[in-house]
Structure 1
Amino acid sequence: MDGWINVDKEAASAPDQVVDLEALPWPWPDGSAEAVVLRHVLEHLGAETSVYLGIVKELYRVCRDGAEVTITVPHPRHDQFLNDPTHVRPITPQGLELFSRARCLEWQKAGSANTPLALYLEVDFALQSVNIVPDRLWRDRIARGEASQRDVMEASRLYNNVIAETTIVLRAVKPA
C-alpha cells in the first residue's frame, strides 16, 4: 500500500520491512502507529493462544491513542477460511470485542461469563465498525432482489459460505 510501511514475514513478497509478527517484541517504538491495516493477516497468526495474545499486546503497544486498526479476514465459516492450511485462528468481531475495556467492565457488572481479556492484558480496543462481504452467490441473490442483507445475516448463523469476508475496525484507547 502506498504511503504505508508494508510488512511481511516473507522477503519474496517484497515488503518494505521483513518482520515475523509472531516474533515478539515488534521492532517499532511505543505509540508509533496512527493506523494499522491487517488485511488477510491476523487469521495466519497465533496458533498458540499465548502468541496470539502477545500479538494483541504488541499491536496495542505500537498504536497511539485513537489509532485506527482495520482488520480484514475471511469468515471462519467460509471455504476460503477452511481450505487454507495456513489459517490458524478464526477472527470474529465478538472475539475482538474481548479486547475492549469498556465491554469487559459491562460484562463483569452483568455477571457475564465472557473472558475479560482487555483487563487481563491491559489493552483497550473499542469496536468501531463491522462490514461483511457476502459470498458471490448471496451477492447475486441480493442484486436480483431475491434476498436482503437481513436474510444474509440470518443465513450466516445457520449455514457455511454465506459471508466471504469481514472487515472490523478497532480504535486504540489509551489513557492520557
Structure 2
Amino acid sequence: MADIDLERLERERQDADRKYNDALTAFDASLIRSTATAPPSVAAGAPLPDAPRGWRGRWLQPVRRWLMPWLEAQHRFNTQVAAAFETIAAREHDRVAALERFQSALIVFLQQITAFVETKDRQMSATSVKRLDEHQDALDTLPDLRSQVAVLQRAAHMLTRRMSELGAPQPAGALAMSSGGTAAVVGAATSADDYKYVAFEDQFRGSVDDVRAKLGAYLPLFDGASNVLDVGCGRGEFLMLLRAAGVSARGIDINGEMIAAARERGLDAEVADALAYLQSQGDESVGGIFAAQVIEHLEPSYLMRLLETAFHKLRPGSPIVIETINPACWLAFFSSYLRDPTHVRPIHPETLEYLTRASGFARVSIRYSAPVADDTRMKHVDLPADILASSDPTARALVEAARVVNVNAGILNNLAFSYHDYAVIGYRS
C-alpha cells in the first residue's frame, strides 16, 4: 500500500476549512433582512369632501353634479388599491419573516453540521487508530507464528520420515562400532529436538539460498579438489556449491534433521561425529575440509584433537577452511553468538589461527566476512571546507573536536562494528 502523505492531507483539510468558513461568512452577509413597509396613503381611503356652503356651493353645484360620478369612481378605485397594497405588503412581510426564519435555521444547521462532521471525524480517526493498533498487534505476532509454523513443519516432516523408517525393514549390518568401541545403531533416531534447531537455522541464519550465496566466496579455495569433507554440513549449502563446481564431496552432521534436509537435495551426507568420522578415514585420503559455524559448538580439547586429526587425514597441499562467528566484533558476539543456546565457547581469530598453525598447517591466514552494515556503524563528522581551512580559534577547536570524535568512532567501529564472521584458512604441508 502506498505511503499516506499526512502533511498533504493536513494542508488540504486546512484549506477546506478556510473555504468553508469563507463561504459561511459570505452566506451570512447575503441574508435578506426585513425592511419597514411604507404606510398606505391617507388620502387613498379618505372620504370625498363635502360641497362648500353659501354662494360658492350654489355656483359649484352644476360642476359637482357633472364631476361627482367620476370622483366617486376614482375614490372607490383608490380605496381598492390601498386595500390591495396593504394585503400585498402584509403577505410580503410574512414571506420575508419566513425567509428570515429559514435562513436563521440554515445558519444554525450549518454550524451544527460542522460540529457533527468534526465529531464523526474524531470518531472515525479514533476507530482507525484502534484498528491500526489491532492490526499492528496482529502483525507483531507474525514472527512468532512463522517460527511456530516452521517448527511444526519440521516436526511433521520428522515424524513422517520416522514413520517411514519404522515401517521399512532393517538393513543388514545395521550395527557398527562407535569410536569408543561400543555398539551403535547406524541411522538410529537422533535427538527428538533436532527439528527445532533446523527451524532455528531457517529463521536466524537465513534461507538455504542466502547461506549458499554467502559461502560461495570459499569455493575457489577448493578448485581442482576431490573427496572434500564438509564438517557440520547442515542443510547442505556448501555441498551444493561443490557439486555445481564438479568437486566430489560428502558431508557429516550430528543433527539428523539437517542430514535429512541435505539428502532431500540429493547430497551425500550422513549423521556422524566429526572427530570419530575423521579418525575412521585413511591418512592423507581427504582432499579438503570445510567447517562453517561449527567450532563454536565444541569444547577446546575436542577442537584441538579435531585439528590434529584433520592434519593427518588431509592430503598434502589440501586446504582446511574453518569459519566461525567473530567474537572480536562486539555486535556479532552479543547478537549472533549469544542468540544460539547450543554455542559452547567463542574462539578469537588469533587463537584459532595459532591453533591451526600449531597443528602443523602452513600458509595460515585469517579472512573476515559479513561486514556490519554502514547504517549500523558509528558515523564520522565531516566539517565544511571553510571551517577546515579557517584559522579562527573557534573553528580550530571545532576541527580538533571533530578529529577526536572521528578517531574514537573508528576505534569503536573496529571493536564493535567490524565483521560478523571470520575464517581461518590453512594448507596441509
TM-score range, shorter chain: 0.5 to 0.7
Following superposition, the deviation at residue 157 of structure 1 comes to 4.4
**Deviation per CA, 1:113-158, whole angstroms, max 9, x where unpaired?**
xxxxx2xxx533431441332123x3x579xx979xxx99843543
1:9 aligns with 2:265: no
Aligned match of 1:74 = 325
Q: Which one-letter code corresponds to 1:170 in the other structure?
A: G
Q: Distance in 1 between matches of 2:362 and 2:347?
A: 15
Q: Distance in 1 between matches of 2:250 and 2:423?
A: 20
TM-score, with structure 2 as normaliser: 0.30
Q: Distance in 2 between matches of 1:85 and 1:92?
A: 19
Q: Which one-letter code corresponds to 2:250 in the other structure?
A: I
Aligned match of 2:367 = 130
Following superposition, the deviation at residue 69 of structure 1 comes to 1.1
Structure 1 residues 85 and 22: CA distance shift in structure 2, 3 A: farther
Contact 2:275–2:309 under 8 Å retained in 1: no
Following superposition, the deviation at residue 51 of structure 1 comes to 1.6
Aligned match of 1:171 = 427
Q: Distance in 1 between matches of 2:306 and 2:410?
A: 30
Following superposition, the deviation at residue 91 of structure 1 comes to 2.8
Q: Which one-letter code corresponds to 2:341 in the other structure?
A: P
Structure 1 residues 27 and 156: CA distance shift in structure 2, 3 A: farther
| Residue number among 291, 300, 307 corresponding to 1:56 in the alignment | 307
Structure 2: gaps of 5 or more residues: 1-238, 263-268, 382-407
- What does residue range 34-113 of structure 1 map to in structure 2 within 5 Å? 34-45=287-298, 47=299, 49-76=300-327, 77=330, 78=332, 79-99=335-355
Q: Which one-letter code corresponds to 1:169 in the other structure?
A: I
Q: Distance in 1 between matches of 2:410 and 2:370?
A: 11
**Deviation per CA, 1:39-65, whole angstroms, max 9, x where unpaired?**
1112112x2x32221111111121111
Contact 2:287–2:314 under 8 Å retained in 1: yes
Following superposition, the deviation at residue 22 of structure 1 comes to 4.6
**Deviation per CA, 1:72-120, whole angstroms, max 9, x where unpaired?**
211123110122121222233311232365xxxxxxxxxxxxxxxx2xx
| Residue number among 273, 290, 293 corresponding to 1:20 in the alignment | 273
TM-score, with structure 1 as normaliser: 0.66
1:87 aligns to what SS in structure 2?
coil
Q: Which range is displaced more, 124-133 or 77-86?
A: 124-133
Structure 1 residues 11 and 84: CA distance shift in structure 2, 3 A: same
Following superposition, the deviation at residue 20 of structure 1 comes to 1.0
C-alpha RMSD of the superposition: 3.1
Q: Which one-letter code corresponds to 1:124 in the other structure?
A: F
More strand by share: 1
Which has the higher relative contact order, 1 or 2, with Cα contacts under 8 A spaced 6 or more apart?
1
Contact 2:361–2:428 under 8 Å retained in 1: yes
Identity of aligned pairs, percent? 22
More helix by share: 2
Structure showing greater radius of gyration is 2
1:64 aligns to what SS in structure 2?
coil
Structure 1 residues 55 and 156: CA distance shift in structure 2, 3 A: farther
Q: Which one-letter code corresponds to 2:319 in the other structure?
A: E
Q: Distance in 2 between matches of 1:134 and 1:31?
A: 35
Aligned match of 2:282 = 29
Number of corresponding residues: 145
Following superposition, the deviation at residue 171 of structure 1 comes to 1.4
Q: Distance in 2 between matches of 1:24 and 1:73?
A: 21
Q: Distance in 2 between matches of 1:152 and 1:98?
A: 30
